[in-house]
Amino acid sequence: MRREPVREYPTVLRSVLVSKHVYREAIDHLAGRVAVDYNDSDESLSGAQLRARLGGKQGAICQLTDRIDAPLLDAVPDVRVVSNIAVGFDNIDVPAATERGVIVTNTPGVLTDTTADLAFALILGAGRRIGESERYLRAGRYTGWRIDLLTGWDVWGATLGIFGMGRIGQAVARRGRGFNMRVLYHDPFRLSDDAERELGIEFAKKEEVLAQADFVTLHCALTAETRHLVGAAELRAMKPTSVLVNTSRGPVVDEAALADALQAGTIAAAGLDVFEREPKIHPKLLACENALLVPHIASATVATRRRMCVMAAENVLAGLAGERPPNIVNPEVLD
């Protein structure tokens, strides 16, 4: 059943669950404005614990490790605002929230450049075999300079293929242009001519991007359409010298197919920040020397994570005050 908008209950004391450890600034921002139930732990709450702790509360500040689905929302009918500390919100069943009159918010913008930096680090790191080189050296295997020791693939002047030309895709495109790259992109929504000109990028069909890019980088949200956007067929369509980078969401890539492609030399290397079943990593991927793997750290700088936490606090407070939160993802809920 659809819930009443919060503005009809101005005198109710609002309380908010913060589901997991956050930067202190977020708690300070909430203090005195709402009652806070803070799970100051790096352990996520289980579904049952979330249900219990959210009972009677009007707001939740949650993280991408929290699954917010229809049964949970039904069990906590007082909840009006779910504020996710992430730009992605595939951990939340947004249509179910909208149906129930629950506002959902995210933290876009503040992490754009930090995430683009990490994507570019993976482009450089996978292309120049940095992880492999470091393991080689630490294992005491460096016995002398060789003409073909750990040779990789040039980034400067190469062709960069970007799937998803939103904020982060554009920030990666700018970095690519800084490296004198030709930048191709594919997105269901093509940018205007002016925007393409300003960014120095070319729109291309999916097959063209796959066939021409030396580096393919993924910056799309996880949806039914983008799940396994890159599978065995797409990997076969890429150049054998190409590199795949994923900082979006793990399920955008068919991980088993990628591991097979890396082992068979169908593509040269991959740089991955996200995985299909986090925190589990496909054992075949772990065995691939040509995979540079990092644990979902694309937005992980102190300044950015602090900003994300404060933004999530601002979003929940606005929603509970009956205002339109600055980063609402389901604005139709207020209609």
CB of 88 to ligand DGY, least distance (A): 3
CB of 46 to ligand DGY, least distance (A): 21
Closer of 17 and 309 to ligand DGY (Cβ): 309
| Backbone φ and ψ of 236, nearest 5° | -65, -30
Cα separation, 184 vs 191, whole angstroms: 12
- Under the criterion CB under 6 A, does residue 217 sit at the interface with ligand DGY? no
Cα–Cα distances in angstroms (integers) from residue 95 to residues 69, 127, 166, 198, 330, in the given order: 10, 40, 22, 35, 8
DSSP per residue, 58-101: SEEEE-TTS-B-HHHHHH-TT--EEEESSS--TTB-HHHHHHTT
Closer of 290 and 299 to ligand DGY (Cβ): 299
Closer of 79 and 87 to ligand DGY (Cβ): 87
- Under the criterion CB under 6 A, does residue 226 sit at the interface with ligand DGY? no
| Backbone φ and ψ of 33, nearest 5° | -100, -35
Site string for ligand DGY, 279-308 (x = CB under 6 A): --------------------x---------
**CA-derived radius of gyration, the chain:** 22
Closer of 106 and 242 to ligand DGY (Cβ): 106
Cα separation, 247 vs 244, whole angstroms: 10
> Which of 60, 68, 111, 318: binder of ligand DGY (CB under 6 A)?
111
Counting residues that bind ligand DGY (by CB under 6 A) gives 5
| Backbone φ and ψ of 60, nearest 5° | -135, 135
- Under the criterion CB under 6 A, does residue 61 sit at the interface with ligand DGY? no
Which H helix or E strand runs over 78? none
Site for ligand DGY in 72-101 (CB under 6 A): 86-88
CB of 29 to ligand DGY, least distance (A): 19
Both tokens of 201, joined, read 């990028």
CB of 253 to ligand DGY, least distance (A): 15
Close Cβ partners of 48 (under 8 Å, ≥ 6 residues apart): none
Total number of residues shown for the chain: 335
> Catalytic residue positions?
249, 278, 296
Which H helix or E strand runs over 280? none
- Under the criterion CB under 6 A, does residue 118 sit at the interface with ligand DGY? no
- Under the criterion CB under 6 A, does residue 119 sit at the interface with ligand DGY? no
CB of 314 to ligand DGY, least distance (A): 16
CB of 69 to ligand DGY, least distance (A): 18
Closer of 202 and 278 to ligand DGY (Cβ): 278
Residue 286, classified by CB atoms within 10 Å of its CB into exposed (0-12), middle (13-18) or buried (19+), is exposed
User: Residue numbers of the site for ligand DGY (CB under 6 A)?
Assistant: 86-88, 111, 299
